[in-house]
Chains A and B, each alone.
Chain A
Amino acid sequence: GEDVEQSLFLSVREGDSSVINCTYTDSSSTYLYWYKQEPGAGLQLLTYIFSNMDMKQDQRLTVLLNKKDKHLSLRIADTQTGDSAIYFCAESNTDKLIFGTGTRLQVFP
């Protein structure tokens, strides 16, 4: 079945760039997403990329997709303390939306 994997933790200094990585197994994924979860809350969509794209930039966020290796990454430029959260990678194909294990990003001053 579908599987989405992420590293569990990432710690960065404020002002540096953060890169969160994700690998997935379903080669028929049509959309890939990054969601952010604040403590004790639901998830909110940060950005998404269509499977025929290699890169998408949205302000401080850059998404890179390597479809051949089934690898997705999220780069956050100039990381701020407010970016501390859990980041989930997700992939969809038709009606199912499968999430990764989540990466907890901790930003320290």
Chain B
Amino acid sequence: SQTIHQWPATLVQPVGSPLSLECTVEGTSNPNLYWYRQAAGRGLQLLFYSVGIGQISSEVPQNLSASRPQDRQFILSSKKLLLSDSGFYLCAWSWGVGNTEAFFGQGTRLTVV
């Protein structure tokens, strides 16, 4: 069976510090991978998605970047965090063909102080 791991669960970082959130998927190959951010009152915003190693599509211009160094690893990064980067970050994967049901990680609560 497939599983998705996302860590850390919570993170408090000062403004200007770097960020690295990691997400890995097990039990499948060549999944589509997604990073979403959930901010209060703004729903679930698609930040990045990837259909393969090294292929990253950015949906929203921002202070963040994503990388996919391995087939089942998706990393969300920032060189310098802003207060506005605070939120609940969710990683997800899907088979990406036909019915693109997405399976989500448990999320990372990021607070930038």
Which B residues touch A42, using CB under 8 A?
90, 92, 104-107
Residue in B42, B92, B96, B101 whose CB lies within 8 Å of A95 = B96
Q: When chains A and B are docked, how far (Å) is the Cα of A90 from the Cα of B46? A: 11
User: Which candidate, A13-21, A43-51, A57-65, is the interface stretch facing chain B?
Assistant: A43-51
Additional 13 contacts, C-beta under 8 A, given A43-B90, A101-B41? A6-B43, A40-B109, A42-B90, A42-B106, A88-B44, A90-B102, A95-B32, A95-B49, A95-B51, A96-B49, A97-B94, A99-B43, A102-B43
Q: When chains A and B are docked, how far (Å) is the Cα of A64 from the Cα of B94? A: 24
Which B residues touch A97, using CB under 8 A?
34, 46, 49, 92, 94, 100, 102
Residue in B41, B44, B59, B96 whose CB lies within 8 Å of A8 = B41
What are 11 A-B pairs with beta-carbon distances under 8 A?
Answer: A35-B102, A40-B109, A41-B107, A42-B107, A43-B102, A50-B99, A92-B100, A94-B100, A95-B49, A95-B100, A96-B46
How many residues of chain A have a CB within 8 Å of chain B? Answer: 25
Which B residues touch A102, using CB under 8 A?
43-44
Which A residues touch B45, using CB under 8 A?
99
Q: When chains A and B are docked, how far (Å) is the Cα of A33 from the Cα of B99? A: 10
A107 at the interface (CB under 8 A from B): no
Q: When chains A and B are docked, how far (Å) is the Cα of A94 from the Cα of B59? A: 15
- SS of B interface (majority): strand
Chain A residues engaging chain B, CB cutoff 8 angstroms: 6, 8, 31, 33, 35, 40-45, 48, 50, 88, 90, 92, 94-102
Q: When chains A and B are docked, how far (Å) is the Cα of A42 from the Cα of B109? A: 11
Q: When chains A and B are docked, how far (Å) is the Cα of A8 from the Cα of B45? A: 15
Q: Is the CB of B102 within 8 A of A31?
A: no
